[in-house]
């Protein structure tokens, strides 16, 4: 943050202040800083994304979806915002829309293990177990070997799906 200030990068400074507030659980305060960051740099998809995530934390789901859309419009090559909107829609029961967004995120950034993991969850929610299994295997392929706990969770999910659907 100090570097942002020294280099006269006010939008980045506001964004980093928002990050600090988010880490402390002060989502309303973070939104104030994110609004400033967006005003200073309206093309920053990360600021829209983080504002939407703060809104989710505050229970403002419909408004969060609008901010995800604004972020996608402002920075259409930012995979994280497609992923996060897909995550929210999957939690809301909009699994097909979630799949489309996860696929869009993977089209932009094909090595995102976490997106494959969430894609698998959406497929599982749709009853598409073979597709879920394939997505989990892809997640393992891209997940660093140092992420032991996450690897174990994914391997457990694979084992469960294999038991449910004979190959």
> For the segment 128-146, what is each residue's pLDDT rounded down to a tens digit?
999 999 999 999 999 998 9
Run of H or E including 37? helix 27-40
* Neighbouring C-beta atoms of residue 129, cutoff 10 Å: 16
Domain limits, CATH 1.25.40.10, in the chain: 1-76, 77-167
Q: Across the chain, what does the average pLDDT equal?
A: 93
pLDDT by residue (tens digit) across 13-63?
999 999 999 999 999 999 999 999 999 999 999 999 999 999 999 999 999
Quick one: pLDDT at residue 8?
Answer: 52
Quick one: pLDDT at residue 164?
Answer: 81
The listed CATH number (1.10.760.10, 2.40.270.10, 1.25.40.10, 3.40.30.10) that belongs to domain 1-76: 1.25.40.10
Quick one: pLDDT at residue 166?
Answer: 62
d(Cα 167, Cα 163) in Å, to the nearest integer? 9
More confident residue, 1 or 166: 166
d(Cα 11, Cα 13) in Å, to the nearest integer? 5
pTM: 0.89
CATH classification code of 77-167:
1.25.40.10
């Amino acid at each position: 943050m100090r570097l942002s200030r020294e280099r006269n990068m006010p939008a980045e400074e506001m964004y980093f202040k928002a990050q600090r507030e988010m880490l402390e659980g002060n989502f309303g305060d973070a939104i104030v800083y994110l609004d400033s960051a967006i005003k200073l740099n309206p093309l920053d998809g990360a600021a829209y994304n983080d504002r939407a995530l703060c809104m989710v934390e505050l229970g403002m789901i419909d408004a969060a979806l609008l901010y995800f859309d604004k972020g996608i419009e402002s920075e259409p090559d930012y995979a994280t915002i497609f992923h996060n909107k897909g995550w929210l829609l999957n939690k809301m029961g909009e699994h097909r829309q979630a799949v489309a967004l996860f696929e869009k995120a993977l089209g932009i950034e094909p090595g995102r293990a976490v997106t494959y993991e969430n894609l698998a969850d959406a497929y599982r929610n749709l009853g598409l177990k073979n597709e879920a299994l394939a997505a989990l295997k892809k997640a393992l392929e891209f997940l660093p070997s140092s992420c032991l706990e996450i690897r174990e969770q994914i391997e457990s999910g694979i084992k469960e799906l294999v038991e449910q659907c004979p190959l």
